[in-house]
Amino acid sequence: MVSHIGLVGLGKMGSNMRARLRQGGIEVTGYDPRPEVSDVPSLEALVAALPADRRVVWVMVPAGEPTRGVLAQLQAVMTRGDIVVEGGNSHYIEDQERAGELAASGVGYVDVGVSGGVWGLENGYGLMAGGSPEDIATLMPVFDALRPDGPREEGFVHAGPVGAGHFAKMVHNGIEYGLMQAYAEGYELLAAKDLVTDVHGTFKAWQRGTVVRSWLLDLMVRALEDDPQFERLDDWVEDSGEGRWTVDEAIEAAVPLPVISAALFARFASRQESSPAMKAVAALRQQFGGHAVKPAE
């Protein structure tokens, strides 16, 4: 069982995870390129500070090149019996590739999808893990410290072998896209109708007893309390990649995902100052039916 781990990446989530782990009785040595938040000056120093019999390093940096770079450095300094935990949002295929590379040196690899955001320190983190049963059992004290209070199965799952954790998190984020889009469309329709004079109050009244209550709804109420008409925000919405991967996997498996796909495409639409496609539709309507169009300004 593990009682002391290294944690690479002390941003918003990483620093909160360090704090929650320490509250749960896990000793944590953290490394970050920013000296003011780091416990040690380098990755090598972090690994050297861990128990020599079995070192565990949890990587919590952005997916892509930052994660690849950290894993490459760790591969050079970790040895047989050690375990690397990748807690970002890497693609599951990359997890499988990295696990194979580390296995050649006898180093274990576990991928963990982590949900909870900036509220995780207080509420705990939902965890979806992929890896061998042996590595998962070794890490269970760490997972128990991070997950929400209550039954383990309501905040943690060993989803399957390496890659399964991030695949489950990918689908989780795809579902999140659809849920957020549904709340957003409901908000817009309520706000468009003069009949409903208290949009914020309507959302607030849905928080208890209704079938649409959820933590996302609670956050929607909180956002409306802070900015009732979202006047301080632009309508430009980013996507972090998991929604695209979810749709890609659905196409590969011939699984229809109309809601998640539409939510992803709505984010694309949010970034357009004007729509070439809708200009084409207007032109076609004018061509075949002589319908009125609005001249460009």
> Catalytic site residues?
169, 176
Tell me how far apart the alpha carbons of residues 190 and 182 are, in angstroms, rounded to a whole number.
Answer: 12
20, 44 contact by CB (below 8 A): no
44, 50 contact by CB (below 8 A): no
Tokens describing residue 22: 């320490």
How do strand 83-86 and strand 108-115 relate by DSSP bridges?
Answer: parallel
